Amino acid sequence: MGAPSQPHQATYAAIVIGAGIQGSFAAYHLAQRHRDTLLLEQFLLPHSRGSSHGQSRITRSAYPRAPYDRMMPDSFRLWQRLEAEAGTSLYRRTGLVVLGPVGDPELEGCRRSLGANRLLDATELAQRFPGLRLRADEAAVWDDTGGVLFADRALRAVQDVFRRRGGTLRDGEKVLRIEPGAVLTVTTTAGLYRAPRLVIAAGAWTSALVAPLGLRLPLQPLRIDVCYWREKEPGSPDAGRAAPCFMAVGLSQAPHGVYGLPALEYPGLVKVCYHHGSPADPDKRDRGLLGAPRPNIALLSSFISSYLPRLEPRPAVMESCLYTNTPDGDFILDRHPKFSNIIIGAGFSGHGFKLAPVVGKLLCELSLGEEPSHSTAPFAITRFPGALRAAL
């Protein structure tokens, strides 16, 4: 055995912490701007400990909240660009049904964002998608741009293009310390790196990284049950692979919403999840899980019996993932209030994947001191009073 290797030391034009989908897209855009960029990841890649793993995520145009609605056309365009650059397909168009009680504000917001004049009633929806059932006082809106993003493949593609542009990705290297300054110093388990700008996109670990920088962000990591449900009659076209994606909003029995995607990961198993979970320490995500009560599974079983009667109401496969929620469900995309060359992207609250190409672009623009191409005012840290601790 040789002598232990010396810690790495190097200087870059930019450092990004976190090779999930947001940090990887920030690094991709920085490298495109000919910036010599280092992307640091604590785990060996690929890994399933954060928020970006798995084969599928929903994308859509229907967005009840204006800032996201305005960003989606740019996002669709940038996903297509990545497909072309990586020479691979990352998106399958399935369409998306948004369903909820007639008059529900979120359902109405989706209708407005699509410019649709009217909603589909229960009979119309049943004719079109017999696998989906509504109650008489419920309605649906159809988003024909909706579909599935191939998440793991997308993450690999954006990292491959980043490296092809000359970027450096170092995985299995955890950031331990950040020293602010005109030139920042980042200390990891294997090295010491310097750069004039830093992007922190560390998902559920963001609070731990920014606390020593005097920031207390109201980020709540949640463990999410990712559930797959078997078709009662395997291969039925409208329950399985050929079904649309869906989102259920405004239901009293599922107040945070339910969403589903056609069978993809496992043949004949449809992914249906509750859009909420249990508070978790990201380093101990699955602790105490065996045998513990899982109230969200009972909620999903009851939802499936009512709305998706062609599926068995017991999950066939269960996996885990993490959300990092803000109190208002909106992202954080901002400069550190005191150290303006530290940019933070966090709090994606379970809906950040589809927007990652735009999020990465905004993080890149903020870090270069440019006017962001979409307003980042709705994503400001200052909306949380007390986020900047007086100690600094």
Ligand X SMILES: Cc1cc2nc3c(=O)[nH]c(=O)nc-3n(C[C@H](O)[C@H](O)[C@H](O)COP(=O)(O)OP(=O)(O)OC[C@H]3O[C@@H](n4cnc5c(N)ncnc54)[C@H](O)[C@@H]3O)c2cc1C
Under rule CB under 6 A, residue 271 binds ligand X: no
Burial class (CB in 10 A: 0-12, 13-18, 19+), 265: middle
Under rule CB under 6 A, residue 231 binds ligand X: no
Residues 149/150/156/162 CA torsion (nearest 10 deg): -20
The nearest distance, CB 156 to ligand X, in angstroms, is 13
Closer residue to ligand X (CB): 20 or 240: 20
Please identify which residue in the block is written with the tokens 């303006």: 340
The nearest distance, CB 19 to ligand X, in angstroms, is 5
Query: Cβ(206)–Cβ(324) under 8 Å?
Result: yes
> What tokens appear for 40 in the block?
């640091």
| Among 90-98, 133-141, 197-205, 300-308, the segment contacting ligand X (CB under 6 A) | 197-205
Please identify which residue in the block is written with the tokens 């890649």: 45
> What tokens appear for 146 in the block?
């909706």
Number of residues that this document lists for the chain: 392
Query: Cβ(367)–Cβ(359) under 8 Å?
Result: no
| Among 13-21, 69-77, 122-130, 235-243, the segment contacting ligand X (CB under 6 A) | 13-21
DSSP 214: T
Contact residue for ligand X among 16, 31, 37, 50 (CB under 6 A): 50
Percentages helix, strand, coil for the chain, rounded to the nearest 5? 30, 30, 45
Q: Is the peptide bond before 67 cis (omega within 30 degrees of 0)?
A: no
Site for ligand X in 318-377 (CB under 6 A): 321-323, 348, 350-354
Query: Cβ(363)–Cβ(333) under 8 Å?
Result: yes
Site for ligand X in 146-185 (CB under 6 A): 174-175
The nearest distance, CB 114 to ligand X, in angstroms, is 17
Closer residue to ligand X (CB): 135 or 318: 318
| Among 52-60, 74-82, 129-137, 228-236, the segment contacting ligand X (CB under 6 A) | 52-60
For 174-179, the CB contacts below 8 A with 24+ separation are 174/42, 175/17, 175/40, 175/42, 175/202, 175/209, 177/212, 178/209, 178/212, 178/213, 178/342
Contact residue for ligand X among 15, 41, 217, 219 (CB under 6 A): 41
Under rule CB under 6 A, residue 82 binds ligand X: no
Closer residue to ligand X (CB): 68 or 234: 68
Under rule CB under 6 A, residue 38 binds ligand X: no
Closer residue to ligand X (CB): 27 or 86: 27
Under rule CB under 6 A, residue 52 binds ligand X: yes
- CA dist., res. 226 & res. 316, Å (int): 11
Contact residue for ligand X among 132, 134, 154, 224 (CB under 6 A): 224
The nearest distance, CB 261 to ligand X, in angstroms, is 7
Give residues in contact with ligand X (CB under 6 A).
17-23, 40-43, 50-52, 57-58, 174-175, 201-205, 209, 224, 226, 273, 321-323, 348, 350-354
